[in-house]
Amino acid sequence: RSTDTEVADRAQWALIEAGPAVLPAVRNSLEASTGNLRQRLISVLAWQADNDSIALLQKIRESDTPDRELIDWAIGKIASIGP
């Protein structure tokens, strides 16, 4: 039996594996998202090493106190595996 978490996990990994074609949609969804969805989108951008998202992540970091640690990790991950 599937749970919502399992479905979300599969969707997240599908986005990570989908390649750069999905990144514009992920970035567009990021600002309007909250909570667990926002955290998953941040992770997708990080694991895809999306350099184009760094400015957006920095902007969101200023207003999103709960996710600052994750955003810092994501920016560091992008820098470490990026081109």
Q: What is the pLDDT of residues 13-59, one digit of tens each?
A: 999 999 999 999 999 999 899 899 999 999 999 999 999 999 999 99
Distance CA 77, CA 49 (A): 7
CB 71 within 8 A of CB 42: yes
* N residues, the chain: 83
**Predicted TM-score (pTM) above 0.75:** yes
